[in-house]
Structure 1
């Protein structure tokens, strides 16, 4: 009998099954390594359990998104869809409700456009169905390629600025001002102290390369808020917030599950509804493609051409995650760049994702703890995540042509064709609290400059159509278009 046969027989049953199912030996990894990688990925992503419910349930929308139910749904969607991703693709990608996408729901769809929570979730479901159809029809990549690289980066940066701005407002660092629109807030008092403490703590942990720095920053600043409220007796925090919870665990609240409606079409009008879904789709689109390639490169998934084999499976799961997020009432779920944390400690297979997903599901009973966290404690997380999303400006596109590697330059802001559309996209999002406005401004500016310079044919037909639609959207009141 060969030594290999003896080794196989001596292999523990469960470990042997996992090895065969996830092809651990082929990827040069082991069960303990994959489990530790799954725990690492969960730690760096767990901040979404606190941030997502607070963004969706901001003080202006207390009845639309109940904190406890939204926290349960966040953990449920992240858990189920991450497990599905691991089983369907055997890749270490993890999924959760997306930052930026949740801000669109709270501040644009519900806060600005006046949609109800079910109607806003209907937009998310519609966006997910559209992306799923594009993937199944094999044209998602074609649509992705139709958008200029500079605008892809600008959309990510604009959303990052939007999130960062929300963090500054939630933390009391930036306030409304009748003369200048915005101004520096009153830096005295417990709430701003909590934000400053949390931001300093998070930056310090990141500087020391501590895994889960954002999560530890949220927890640390929450403890600071509890102490500050107990010592000063301040009423700056709402009742029940920044106080030790009356219960630490509770039966999961599934009250938001299935709460979605396509009534947003009648509420917004067909044109606006289409453009909102389109803008949300673009926001989701580029994050996913960049994440799959970025994490895939680190994990060694890419082939010699820099392509991701069997990318279709991952794209289908990611698209269905958007549908699941909307159907569960927790915003669009997407693949997280934080998946790279698990890969960084040696994780390589879908077992990493399965472990991460199980940990998210186990976190569902902890929803009462989310109600304790003040918005000032999550403000540093928004500021840091916003900054992270802006890092694409420093990236350089690398591609191969005729056997030669070509490194593309970064955005040239002094170039009218590139710089002005990018700035229009980035600036309009935070200043108007509206992602659609930013994307529309960028598309129109890009197309008009190309036309003015006699480069009409250089613009993809899809860009011409989208720009015209956005132009009608902005001028609808003058054109008498009902939306």
Structure 2
């Protein structure tokens, strides 16, 4: 059964404070054993854990060319007809536009999650989803057409929520699998933190290795371990705001180190392996935000390549939209379970409060992401960092959302936080979440095998959806083999079949293209 993490319970040691004010009643602050101060700290921690997307999403969406060789800004990416010389000025302008739109859309959606879903969870452009849009959709069409498909994906998810299908699927998932999802996400987010900090990297003769060449080298990794040790020390001493203090302290140390050493960022070609992973902790030039990407979409052009309708192209596009939808659909489901479980916010059936409202806001995230030209926005598992700091209500999301809005104008300050300073929080949250592994009955293969596949494939495949899908397919298969097919919820058969299609979509597209 799904139970609250012991570590999460320890975070609720404070005696509830606050009066029955309008703010308290609206967000149920006292009811959820929280306080305004606790929510503000949690909201800020979630923001700093997510803020890297303001720098990373532009590097994906803003630097890729569509089929015409144009950037998402509409400017040509290349200065020559052969498409070999990149226009650095045009790419820089494109990156700036995507950064501003990314922060704006994330801020508005996270505010909506706080005020409508009233759940401590942030939304922003989804990693993996943005790569699919940039490297799979855009090369086959124009950028406005690619973003139009993202809007269609969001509309489909929105309809699934309104019809109750998405909520029904949520309820159909066995409780043990929900627990496994939380544990798997804990390992996933810890792995993300280690990769972001450069502690774990792609190896020479191995898939991954420790640091560079099997050893820990470089000042940025030192900043990570400083933040990690500080966080552990503050946590065991039960210091309030431990995670936020760790992020700020490690950032200050990083700024000092960069000012003295001038390390710079890691180079894509590997020429500066000891540099900073994502953000360089140095003040950048201030520029006014350019929100010109908002609303730049083409809803129907992708279905009519070269002005003509093609059945083959149409079916291939449907497969791509389906893959977007499925990844978005189940990433959110896993994240909601993880955040709710870690914060002790799930009911006896393993459901969070205001489930429908939460899923509605998330579905609007895909639509808004397309309209903002930043790719589908989805719930962020990094929200567990804020929950680990004490966030329990939608007020924390309001704080996170306002921070994203401020980031539109304060990007130079936000980008001073290196990933090495935020990564310790992600790794530590993995520790908080993995404690739920004891709630899985490993003595029963029909329970343990699906849970095991769910847990290991999230970090190993670097995908929450893959882990959920593998667990569901295994659950249905084992039940059928044991002659217990009638005990499986009908929706689980539908979901398992959809995931089989999802897993072999590459082969399907190849057949259709052939």
Alignment-derived partner of residue 277 in structure 1 = 325
Question: Could you say if the C-alpha distance between residues 434 and 272 of structure 1 is closer, same or farther in structure 2, counting changes exceeding 3 Å?
Answer: farther
Partner of 1:109: 132
Cα 1:124–1:164 change in 2 (3 A) is farther
Distance in 1, Cα, partners of 2:232 & 2:97: 31
Name the counterpart of 1:8. Answer: none
CA distance in 1 between counterparts of 2:168 and 2:63 reads 41
The offset of 1:132, in angstroms, is 2.7
Q: Match for residue 184 of structure 1?
A: 210
Determine if the alignment matches structure 1 residue 80 to structure 2 residue 108.
yes
**What corresponds to 1:369 in structure 2?**
413
Taking the aligned partners of 1:124 and 1:367, their CA distance within structure 2 comes to 26
State the 1:210 CA deviation.
4.3
Structure 1 contact 176–182 (Cα < 8 Å) conserved: yes
Which moves more between the two structures, 208-217 or 442-451? 208-217
Is 2:223 the partner of 1:194? yes
- Normalised by the length of structure 1, the TM-score is 0.71
Q: 2:201 aligns with which of 150, 172, 175?
A: 175
Q: Which residue does the alignment assign to 1:430?
A: 459
* Structure 2: distance between partners of 1:474 and 1:240: 31
- CA–CA separation in structure 1 for the residues paired with 2:424 and 2:24: 40
* Residues in 2 aligned to 1:211 and 1:104: alpha-carbon distance in whole angstroms: 34
Offset of residue 163 of structure 1: 2.9
Counterpart CA distance in 2 for 1:218 and 1:276 is 33
The reply to whether residue 471 of structure 1 matches residue 500 of structure 2 is yes
In structure 1, distance between residues paired with 2:389 and 2:428: 20
Compared CA separation, residues 115 and 214, structure 1 to 2 (3 A): farther
Contact 1:161–1:386 at 8 Å: present in 2 too?
A: yes
Give the whole-Å Cα distance in 2 for the aligned partners of 1:283 and 1:388. 20
Instruction: Answer whether contact 1:144 1:286 (CA < 8 A) is retained.
Output: no
- How big is the shift at 1:24? 5.3
Deviations 1:247-298, CA, capped at 9 Å, x for gaps: 4x65334355446677599696433541441232012124336656886959
Residue in structure 1 matched with residue 283 of structure 2 by the alignment? 245
CA offset digits 1:175-207 (Å, max 9, x no partner): 222433222223122122122222223333333
Change in Cα spacing, 1:213 to 1:71, as seen in structure 2 (3 Å) is farther
Q: Distance in 2 between matches of 1:255 and 1:160?
A: 37
Structure 2 stretches of 5 or more lacking a match? Answer: 1-19, 65-71, 73-93, 265-271, 304-312
Q: 1:331 to 1:141 in 2, by over 3 A?
A: closer
Matched with 2:335 is 287
**SS at the partner of 2:494?**
helix
Structure 2 counterpart of 1:155, from 181, 198, 206: 181
Q: Quick check: 1:218 aligned with 2:247?
A: yes
Change (3 A) 1:179 1:40: closer
Question: What is the CA distance between 1:124 and its match in structure 2?
Answer: 5.8
User: C-alpha distance in 2, partners of 1:145/1:205?
Assistant: 38
What are the equivalent positions in structure 2 for 1:25-424 lying under 5 Å apart? 36=37, 39-48=40-49, 50-57=51-58, 63=63, 69=97, 72-73=100-101, 75-84=103-112, 88=116, 91=118, 93-97=119-123, 102-105=126-129, 109=132, 125-126=151-152, 128-185=154-211, 186-235=215-264, 236=272, 237=275, 242-247=280-285, 250-254=287-291, 257-258=294-295, 269-288=317-336, 291=339, 312-328=356-372, 329=374, 331-334=376-379, 336=383, 357-358=401-402, 360-394=404-438, 410-424=439-453
Paired residues of 2:39 and 2:395 also in contact (CA < 8 A): yes
**Could you tell me which residue of structure 2 aligns to residue 3 of structure 1?**
none
Give, in whole Å, the separation in 2 of the partners of 1:389 and 1:122.
37
Question: 1:424: Cα distance to partner?
Answer: 1.5
Counterparts of 1:440 and 1:78, CA distance in 2: 27
Instruction: Give 5+ residue unaligned stretches, structure 1.
Output: 1-18, 395-409
The structural deviation recorded for 1:417 is: 0.9
Point out the more displaced range, 363-372 or 450-459: 363-372
User: Cα distance 1:465–1:330, how it changes in 2: closer, same or farther (>3 A)?
Assistant: closer
Post-superposition offset of 1:449:
1.3
Cα distance in 2, alignment partners of residues 443 and 28 from structure 1: 35
Are 2:153 and 2:321, in contact at CA under 8 Å, matched by a contact in 1?
no
Q: How much is the aligned-residue C-alpha RMSD, in angstroms?
A: 4.5
When residues 46 and 211 of structure 1 are mapped into structure 2, their CA distance, relative to the original with a 3 A threshold, is farther
Aligned-partner SS, 2:472: helix
Task: Summarize the Cα distance change of 1:442–1:27 in structure 2 as closer, same or farther, 3 Å threshold.
Answer: closer
Change (3 A) 1:322 1:389: farther
| Residue 171 to residue 24, structure 1, CA distance change in 2 (3 Å) | closer
1:320 Cα shift?
Answer: 2.6
Q: Report the count of equivalent residues.
A: 434
Cα distance in 2 between the residues matched to 1:187 and 1:233: 19
